[in-house]
Amino acid sequence: MNYIEFEGRKISVRTAVDDYEIDENGEYQRQIPRFQNTFGKNAENPVEKDRYTLFWAKDCAWSNRIAIVYSMLGLESAIKEEIVYWTKLNLPVGWECGNAEDHINPESQARFIGELYYRSDPNFEGRPAVPVLYDYKRQMIANNDFQNLTYYLENDFKPFHKEGAPNLCPSNRFREIRELGNWLYDHINNSIYKMFFGKNKTAYRKGYDEFRSGMETLEKTLDEQRFLLGDHISDSDIRLFSTLVRLDEDYGKGLGLDEKLIHYPNLFDYCREIYQLKDVRKKIFFKYMYRGEPKEDVIHAIEELWSTPVCRSGKIKKSDFIYLL
């Protein structure tokens, strides 16, 4: 049985990574998002105001990425938001709603992310993961595709962007942005998890080599330009930032990595510049990234470090990411 019942709620069970996501070579293969329906006039999901809730977690890089884009575009007026936390209950249910004291999300009346998965697919097997964009009119998950969900928010939900919102995904550069997003996934975003979940030295080393080569390429690129695609921030930058902002305090400590973000001066300056954007900063919570006891003075010191002034506007203008050359 792939679900449990608790207080009258049917909840898809949070399975272990080892159950479905380790291949015959001991390498980690991330599960494919179950709900990948698109948005638009002739798509499965209509683009409407007051129809969707974004579920995300402060300590999940994949969903934090979506929340940052959501904030930068000012979509709070169109899409509701529910922050989830790892449950303290002794149950295999994973993420639990946290906005209200009773842990009940008002639009869905759900308490756990696993409930949303069960409603949308009672036969679901895997990890009920975030992010989730939930359609509370149909009471089903509209999309949980962490790799593509930002593109929908940036393009299909453009009528609801706030005045002055950045164009994170210009139509004339969408192909480049998608290609770069795939490269970042392989070399940065997911390679860390290949190290973490790899079951042998070979699997770990493969992830490490991908990550190390990716970091070296990025460091060279950002020595010559302000952002990954030139002078203007894009979706690609948010994908990179949401992983690297966690590198030293979360991933690095968990994996025992010797290199730190501060060992890459261009990357560290670049990430600090992005962090200091108001709509980015309000979605970053170092307390939930810190491995160990998150003492207030330690978290404050980390925030002060990341708030150190930085100026990268003088970097040479360039339009291509170095890996494409």
pTM: 0.94
**pLDDT tens per residue across span 222-265:** 999 999 999 999 999 999 999 999 999 999 888 778 789 999 99
**pLDDT tens per residue across span 159-185:** 999 999 999 999 999 999 999 999 999
Percent of the chain with pLDDT over 90: 87
pLDDT at residue 213 tops 50: yes
Better-predicted residue by pLDDT, 302 or 18: 302
pLDDT at 314: 63
pLDDT at 253: 85
pLDDT at 177: 98
pLDDT at 292: 78
Percent of the chain with pLDDT over 70: 96
Q: How confident is the model at residue 42 (pLDDT cuts 50, 70, 90)?
A: confident
pLDDT at residue 119 tops 50: yes
pLDDT at residue 215 tops 90: yes
Q: How confident is the model at residue 94 (pLDDT cuts 50, 70, 90)?
A: very high
Q: CA-to-CA distance for 100 and 28, rounded, in angstroms? A: 35
* Cβ neighbours of 185 (radius 10 Å): 16
> Tokens at residue 32, please?
């494919």
pLDDT at 49: 98
CATH 3.40.30.10 residue window(s) in the chain: 3-160
pLDDT at 324: 39
3-state secondary structure of 227: strand
Q: How confident is the model at residue 313 (pLDDT cuts 50, 70, 90)?
A: low
DSSP assignment of 128-142: --S-EEEETTTTEEE
Residue 142 C-alpha from the chain's centroid: 17
Nearest Cα neighbor of 86 from 66, 63, 120 is 63
pLDDT at 15: 85
CATH 1.20.1050.10 residue window(s) in the chain: 171-324
**pLDDT tens per residue across span 74-88:** 999 999 999 999 999
Burial of 262 (0-12, 13-18, 19+ CB in 10 A): exposed
Determine the CATH number of domain 3-160: 3.40.30.10
Q: CA-to-CA distance for 74 and 157, rounded, in angstroms? A: 11
Determine the CATH number of domain 171-324: 1.20.1050.10
Q: How confident is the model at residue 325 (pLDDT cuts 50, 70, 90)?
A: very low
